[in-house]
Structure 1
Amino acid sequence: MTDDLPMRVRADGLPERVRIHEVGPRDGLQNEQTVVPVETKAEFIHRLAAAGLTTIEATSFVHPRWVPQLADAARLMPMLDDLTGVRLPVLVPNEKGLERALELGVTEVAVFASATESFARANLNRTVDEALAMFEPVIARAAGAGVNVRGYLSMCFGDPWEGAVPLPQVTAVCRRLRDMGCTELSLGDTIGVATPGHVTALLTSLNEAGVPTSALAVHFHDTYGQALSNTLTALRHGVTTVDASAGGLGGCPYARSATGNLATEDLLWMLQGLGISTGVDLGRLTATSAWMAGQLGRPSPSRTVRALSHKES
């Protein structure tokens, strides 16, 4: 869409390469009022892959009653069989969801836990302990089938009902997910209240509890405009996997104060300016997000998409 790129200036203490875990097709579209046709979802994922993204969270095998926007998961996955060299993890809520995913040949799954009791009740209708007990056989069965399991942990920094979340509380749930067999943990700032100092404190607490930085990813929302500064803080701590959503799609249907995820284009602009490699083409990605915004009938919330699209026009 454009040849405009930021000036590259390397900074000390940052990784050479970052893997972007693209969540737009799942976490983004599940929160849209518009139900996107399955053919459009498949094209979206193909366009994201063509832009260079190698990890694209494709869909969710949650019951359609809870997330009707992703009710077509079983139809979507076979439409992605031609994608080679692209990881296509899916979210599974329980053993039944895992069984459906395994039948379709899925090789990576994710479970979605909560660091707080209030959100566990709102999102999973269970206590934290009950939710973890539900996930334990899911993780064990997936591992037995040679399937990697990512553990999402929501409300790591703040909860709309409980306020600030104590670090030991988050660390304890992370340890339990790790001990169950999750190969990666994604730390979610579900309502976007984290600040850089808080990010450093949590990452340090996890390291002290025996959770290595190499097993961690970060997932920031931009409610208060802190997503990029929080991401940079995590990178300085050694994190090399960052969740982001093309065009800034998404939020959380169970947390009204949550705005969209960190936009992949905004993240990419910062990473390119720092000379950090991702393998993603910013122009192709921007064009993809502009196209998806057209499918949804509204402008992209990503500042980078808007800026580059304006220059192109």
Structure 2
Amino acid sequence: MIEGLPMRVPAPDLPARVRIHEVGPRDGLQNEAMVVPVEVKADFIKRLAEAGLDTIEATSFVHPKWVPQLADAERLMPMLEGMAARLPVLVPNERGLERALALGVREIAVFGSATESFAKANLNRSVDESIAMFAPVVAKARDAGVRVRGYLSMCFGDPWEGAVPIAQVVRVSRSLMDIGCDELSLGDTIGVATPGHVFELLSALGESGIHTDHLGVHFHDTYGQALANTLAALQHGVTTVDSSAGGLGGCPYAKSATGNLATEDLVWMLHGLGIETGVDLGRLTATSVWMAAHLGRPSPSRTVRALSGTTSHQEQ
């Protein structure tokens, strides 16, 4: 290791570059009990962009009653004007889309489920009813020239239903793509996936006509498998990976879910494999140390813990 960076030893048949879809400001913070001031959120996003992240999911336009942490979306977005990074936002329905479009948002995401139990818990609808709810949202967004991402949770396992059949995930994935989503993020919401399962699902999706250039992966590290699963996805040709700075986040409706894959841990692995990300690991680590101080606890990211005592970019 030289100056806090891994030795670069490329592996065969991996992409030359990976786009990191940073979810810390939205997915990472949404479950925090302490409401983070909007000024801190804006600074967090700006610091992430300065660290080289070019896609940062900023907030959600869900009703404040359901996610109080993100009730300041209308205040936050104007504070980010002029940033070069892509700033997608989550919208739950047509009203959320209207709020986002009024602020000039150019990318949105909708959040669906591969299982009936989670769809009911999270959306109070069946899987098919949720797709029907998303259809006009996606259509209106596309008409406005807005890019649409579809999140699909519980792709590998569900706390109520157990193992999720691959054919079931493919069917719901196909439904989301058919209503007009540009990209689909496959979520391992409770962190039970293993690499062979990842490879089989990606193969089945490819056979259904959904290829890796339209896919991202979103792994949780409940059983320590997030990086192994990411590597399996890269070997299959995926080039978009979701992660959360400092490993922030979980899932409020799946109590066994621990945090998201930490962006720093992902960057360490990618850089060691010789895969370009555009991310300055030192600046990113400093940002997560700074955010952890605001939250009053250390970052769960192993890479942040390993580097935070040596990086020269720490800012308090």
Q: TM-score higher than 0.5 here?
A: yes
Cα deviation for residue 253 of structure 1 reads 0.6
SS at match of 1:39: helix
Cα deviation for residue 312 of structure 1 reads 4.6
1:275-298 deviation line (CA, Å, top 9, x unaligned): 000000000000000000000000
* Counterpart residue type for residue 31 of structure 1: N
SS at match of 2:148: strand
Query: For residues 214 and 39 of structure 1, what CA distance do their matches in structure 2 show?
Result: 35
- Aligned equivalent of 1:296: 295
Identical residues among aligned pairs (%):
77
- Aligned equivalent of 2:239: 240
- Aligned equivalent of 1:10: 10
Aligned 1:96-111 pairs, distance under 5 A? 96-111=95-110
Answer whether contact 1:171 1:206 (CA < 8 A) is retained. Answer: yes
Stretches (4+) displaced over 2 A = 310-313
Query: For residues 179 and 129 of structure 1, what CA distance do their matches in structure 2 show?
Result: 13
- Aligned equivalent of 2:149: 150
Cα deviation for residue 32 of structure 1 reads 1.1
- Aligned equivalent of 2:284: 285
Cα deviation for residue 212 of structure 1 reads 1.0
1:222-248 deviation line (CA, Å, top 9, x unaligned): 000000000000000000000000000
- Aligned equivalent of 2:158: 159
Cα deviation for residue 144 of structure 1 reads 0.4
* Counterpart residue type for residue 9 of structure 1: V
- Aligned equivalent of 1:65: 65
Cα deviation for residue 33 of structure 1 reads 1.3
1:103-148 deviation line (CA, Å, top 9, x unaligned): 0000000000000000000000111011110000000000000001
Cα deviation for residue 310 of structure 1 reads 2.9
Query: For residues 67 and 253 of structure 2, what CA distance do their matches in structure 1 show?
Result: 11
SS at match of 1:217: strand
Answer whether contact 1:8 1:275 (CA < 8 A) is retained. Answer: yes
Query: For residues 206 and 234 of structure 1, what CA distance do their matches in structure 2 show?
Result: 12
Higher mean displacement: 30-39 or 230-239? 30-39
Answer whether contact 1:124 1:131 (CA < 8 A) is retained. Answer: yes
What's the TM-score, normalizing by structure 2? 0.97
Answer whether contact 2:91 2:110 (CA < 8 A) is retained. Answer: yes
- Aligned equivalent of 1:49: 49
Cα deviation for residue 28 of structure 1 reads 0.2
Cα deviation for residue 311 of structure 1 reads 3.5
* Counterpart residue type for residue 159 of structure 1: D
Unaligned runs of 5+ in 1: none
- Aligned equivalent of 2:23: 23
* Counterpart residue type for residue 229 of structure 2: N
Aligned 1:1-313 pairs, distance under 5 A? 3-84=3-84, 86-312=85-311
Query: For residues 109 and 243 of structure 1, what CA distance do their matches in structure 2 show?
Result: 15
Query: For residues 7 and 31 of structure 1, what CA distance do their matches in structure 2 show?
Result: 36
Cα RMSD after superposing both structures: 0.9
Answer whether contact 1:51 1:280 (CA < 8 A) is retained. Answer: yes
Unaligned runs of 5+ in 2: none
Query: For residues 79 and 131 of structure 1, what CA distance do their matches in structure 2 show?
Result: 32
1:17-45 deviation line (CA, Å, top 9, x unaligned): 00000000000000111110000000000
SS at match of 1:43: helix
Query: For residues 3 and 49 of structure 1, what CA distance do their matches in structure 2 show?
Result: 22
* Counterpart residue type for residue 141 of structure 1: K
Query: For residues 240 and 152 of structure 2, what CA distance do their matches in structure 1 show?
Result: 15
Answer whether contact 2:248 2:260 (CA < 8 A) is retained. Answer: yes
Answer whether contact 1:109 1:147 (CA < 8 A) is retained. Answer: yes
SS at match of 1:9: coil
SS at match of 2:79: helix
What's the TM-score, normalizing by structure 1? 0.98
